[in-house]
Each structure stands twice: as C-alpha cells, then as structure tokens.
Amino acid sequence: MCPAPPAGLVSGPKYRGPLHCLATVAREEGLRGLYKGSSALLFRDGHSFATYFLSYTILCEQLTPAGRSQPDVLGVLLAGGCAGVLAWAVATPMDVIKSRLQADGQGQRRYRGLLHCVVTSVREEGPRVLFKGLTLNCCRAFPVNMVVFVTYEAVLRLIRGLST
C-alpha cells in the first residue's frame, strides 16, 4: 500500500460550487477579477459567431438541390456540423488566451493584459499554442452543431406553419 501524503499537502478543490467561486473571486480580486479574460472573449465570439452563421448560410445555399428553397435534413446536418468546426477553428486562438488570462493570478500574476499574454505564449511555446484543444473542440462541435441547426430549422418550420 502507498503511504498517505502528509496532511499539509492534501488540498481539495478551491471552490465548493459556482456561487462560492463567484464570492471568492470577488473577495480576492475585486469586481475586476470577475471580468478577467473578457476582452479575449469579445474577440473570440465576434469573429467566431460571424464565421458560424455566415458559413452555415453559405453551405446551406451550396447544399440546396436545384429547384428547392432549402437543403434537405442531410444538408442541414452537414452545414451545421461544418459551421461549428469552422467557428471553433476561428475561436480557438482567443479561447486559449481567454483561458490563460482567467487562470492568471492564481498565485503570482503572469500577464499584464491580452497582447502580453499572446506575445508571451507564442514566444515561449510557439504559434501552435494558440490551437491547443482545437482537435477536441472540433470533434465535439461537429455533432453538437448538427443537432443545433436541425433543431433550429425544425423550430423555424414549425413557427412558419403556425403563422400561416
């Protein structure tokens, strides 16, 4: 059997839940701590959502059979999955930076801001660091966004049917 670690070295999770996390961050870092990473989040989501909806629309147009106004279910599934993957391909660099900024300060602060975080991360780990997690995000995004857009189109058809 392995010996138990000394009592001083055993530590549990820092937060007991979301409200405890909110209170702890606000107490330890102030109101500003609750918004760490928000600039990176803004850059991530602006480009990502533009890519998401634009690529979905373009792919739907390309996958719509001649003589029809909308793609079939298979076309919607494919367009939705691809749109999700493309959106994450655009979002991942700023998502990595956002996560680093949010985790910064647990101990000693490492980054002075968004640009410093980008430059430091790339200098120390190379440009590939900006795409950490992309493969996993894409594997998750494809099926999730297939369902999202099929559901979206089904609800639209239902609403249009109710309004006529």
pTM of the entire structure?
0.79
**Residues 6+ positions from 21 with CB-CB distance below 8 Å:** 14, 15
C-alpha distances in Å from residue 50, one per residue of 61, 90, 91, 116: 17, 10, 11, 26
In order along its 164 residues, the chain shows pLDDT tens digits of 445 555 555 578 888 999 998 998 899 888 888 888 888 888 899 999 999 999 999 999 999 999 998 999 999 999 999 999 999 999 999 999 999 998 887 667 888 889 999 999 999 999 999 999 999 999 999 999 999 999 999 999 999 888 87
Quote the pLDDT of residue 7. Answer: 54
110, two tokens: 């490492």
C-alpha distances in Å from residue 118, one per residue of 8, 111, 128, 143: 36, 9, 12, 30
